[in-house]
Amino acid sequence: METLTESIIAAGWAERILTEGQLARLLDGTAQRRYNLVNRALHRGELVRLRRGRYRLAASVSGKLAHPFVVAQALRSGSYVSFESALSFHGWIPEAVPMTLCVVPGRRREEFEVPQFQTFRFLPLALNPGFFLEAVERVQLDEQVALVARPLRALLDRLCLLKRDWPGLMELAWEMRIDPDLMASLRRDDLEALRPLYRHGRMRAAIEAMERELAS
């Protein structure tokens, strides 16, 4: 009898994150049989449970560890990577970030510790409806797609999360060890598109202050 691991590899899904529905389509038989096969693969260490209903073959079987940003999308659909995680990904801050930080719709804050991976933290922000994915791009990683904030959006999301007043471009660059040339590359047009994004007046004031600095 073919094992679950063999079935996943034969289907060409060795590097995919799989749902219960995909496993049901892949495997014949009853739900109990599927449950037994999944548990057997988990017990042997061939399969990793990312969260309830989300699985991936272990790196020792697939030959490759999934990118954390792809895992984040599987943990909370509709979220996107932001804050220091996105800034590090784009090369705007020199430090590696020991967890994956994401913005999630709604109000519920969550955190996951996933075996073989790191900590994943999902944080809600006070955003106006219709602008959630403004300045967020689809990035191809490990043959799958993750949503990642562009640097400007990640910077502003961080200010919003910390509920901080605008510190000034150079102060922010010094604080986060961002190359001043990268700060200088920010464009007023991009800021204008983000003006209606945040609900709080503090963020609107921050964007206006940033625009004035970029214009001077």
pLDDT tens column, 185-203: 888 888 988 999 999 899 9
CA distance 120 to 4: 27
- Tell me the Ramachandran region of residue 83: left when phi exceeds 0, alpha when psi lies from -120 to 50, beta otherwise: left
CB 100 within 8 A of CB 76: no
| Arithmetic mean of pLDDT over the chain | 90
CA distance 207 to 196: 10
Q: What integer pLDDT is reported at residue 1 of this predicted model? A: 39
CA distance 185 to 213: 12
- More confident of the two residues 51 and 150: 150
Q: What is the mean pLDDT of residues 68-77?
A: 92
Quickly tell me which residue has 């060890």 as its tokens: 177
Q: What integer pLDDT is reported at residue 4 of this predicted model? A: 86
pLDDT in tens, 97-152: 889 999 999 889 999 988 778 899 999 999 999 999 999 999 998 778 899 999 99
Quickly tell me which residue has 């017990």 as its tokens: 43
CA distance 76 to 185: 32
Q: Give the percent of the chain with pLDDT over 70.
A: 99
Q: What is the mean pLDDT of residues 73-93?
A: 94
Q: What integer pLDDT is reported at residue 82 of this predicted model? A: 98
Q: What integer pLDDT is reported at residue 2 of this predicted model? A: 59
CA distance 95 to 176: 9
Beta bridge partners of 139: 146
Q: What integer pLDDT is reported at residue 164 of this predicted model? A: 86
